[in-house]
Amino acid sequence: MRQASDIESFFDRAAADYREAHGSARRLLHYRLELIRSMMRFRPDDRVLELGCGPGNHLLPLASCFASALGTDLSAAMVEVGRQRCHEQGLDGKVDFAARNAETLEGVESASFDAAFCVGAFEHMVDKAAVLRSVARVLRPGGRFGCLTPNGEWPWYRRIAPRLGLATTRLSTDHFVGEVEVRTLLREAGFTDATFGHWTFVPRGDMPAPWGLAMTTLDAMGRIARVGRWRGGLMFHAVLPRGR
């Protein structure tokens, strides 16, 4: 059974020693931050929301890009680590953190954000349609939403790992989406102007080493040949109509 409590307990346990599992933490974080900046094009007066913020690995380094932000995560332990890091970096009053379920964003005011993003968390969320409806609720007209997530159409997830009998998920809630599914979810939540791309994501920490090398090579080939289904990561961006 897919339960949100699995997410909460898993990340509560991981909060005190949360670390990158798939390669060089510094290099991969820098790469993701550049992708977020390019995709979201933050404005100096933006109020920003991050879903599944964890300990603030992305939100805090991006703080100079916008006016203020709220990071939400289902794990209260992750939120507490984020708050501590925020205080240590002198960002109190500009960045805040709150334990919230992304499916409801309970207590988050409607039409109160200009932009929202999610990195490496959408795949864990149980009811993705509800998540996107909640994001649409809290964004202002014209608000933008961007996401980096594993590519559900990648051969590792679709064919190779299942045939080898290897697990591709850590949590009961994990579900990797593809572009077709995301387009439908975004449209039903009221988003328009959806754009899609791919990014390099190879979960080497969850693969036998030879397969990690093979899938890294496939992702690189997909980047060079511009074959999206060979890429390990899916990225998308959409906008709420101004005349809602």
What pLDDT does 38 receive? 97
Of 118, 179, 169, the residue nearest 2 (C-alpha): 169
The residues spanned by each domain of the chain are 4-239
The overall average pLDDT reported for the chain is 91
Query: What is the per-residue pLDDT across 193-219, written as a single tens digit (0 to 9) for each?
Result: 999 999 999 998 888 999 999 999 999
pLDDT of 239 over the 80 cut: yes
- The C-alpha angle with vertex 70 and arms to 69 and 76, in degrees rounded to 5, equals 150
Residue (of 45, 89, 48, 86) closest to 67 by Cα position: 45
How far is residue 63 from each of residues 56, 89, 103, 115, 173, measured CA to CA in Å? 10, 10, 25, 13, 30
pLDDT band at 170 (very low <50, low <70, confident <90, very high): confident
Q: Where does the pLDDT of residue 1 fall: very low under 50, low under 70, confident under 90, or very high at 90 and above?
A: very low
Mean pLDDT over 124-138 rounds to 96
In the CATH hierarchy, which top-level class contains the domain 4-239?
A: alpha beta
Contact between 116 and 49 (Cβ < 8 Å): yes
Average pLDDT over residues 220-240: 97
**Of the listed ranges 5-14, 40-49, 205-214, the one predicted with least confidence:** 5-14
Q: Give the pLDDT confidence score for residue 101 in this predicted structure.
A: 95
Q: What is the DSSP letter of 108?
A: P
pLDDT at 113 over 80: yes
Among 71, 68, 34, 78, smallest CA distance to 49 is for 71
